[in-house]
Amino acid sequence: MCGTGGFCINGKQANVGGKFVGLNRLHDIFDRFYDAGKTPQDISGDELLDEFRFCNYIPSSMEEDYIKLILKEYRIYWSEKNQRDKH
């Protein structure tokens, strides 16, 4: 189930294109990609954006801003999780 009413489920809030938004299911989506062995280099912004559309409203005029943010967040997530998994 996705969040409504301005709160974020299993995700985080971020500034996208000058607007403060919730990224619902961020961790769930990233977990699936990580568990499938996808590194940040293996994944496209469009691929991530398509997943986020299921639980996040993304205006077409802000797609590029979302792609940049989601890719950046996945690089951070992947790096941190990869380091933990090595230990």
User: How many domains, the chain?
Assistant: 1
**8 falls within a domain:** no
pLDDT of the residue at 11: 73
- Give the side-chain half-sphere CA count within 13 A for 44: 3
Structure confidence by residue, pLDDT tens digits, 8-45: 566 788 888 888 888 888 889 999 999 999 999 999 99
Mean pLDDT lowest among 35-44, 52-61, 71-80 = 52-61
**27 falls within a domain:** yes
Question: Given a cut of 50, is residue 1 above it in pLDDT?
Answer: no
Environment class of 80 (CB within 10 Å of its CB; exposed 0-12, middle 13-18, buried 19+): exposed
Task: Give the amino acid at 52.
Answer: F
Rounded Cα–Cα distance for residues 18 and 2 (Å): 23
**2 falls within a domain:** no
**76 falls within a domain:** yes
Q: What does pTM read for this prediction?
A: 0.84
Question: Given a cut of 80, is residue 2 above it in pLDDT?
Answer: no
pLDDT of the residue at 12: 83
Mean pLDDT, the chain, rounded, equals 86
- Give the side-chain half-sphere CA count within 13 A for 79: 7
What's the domain range around 49?
13-86
Tokens standing for 86?
Answer: 């090595």
pLDDT of the residue at 66: 93
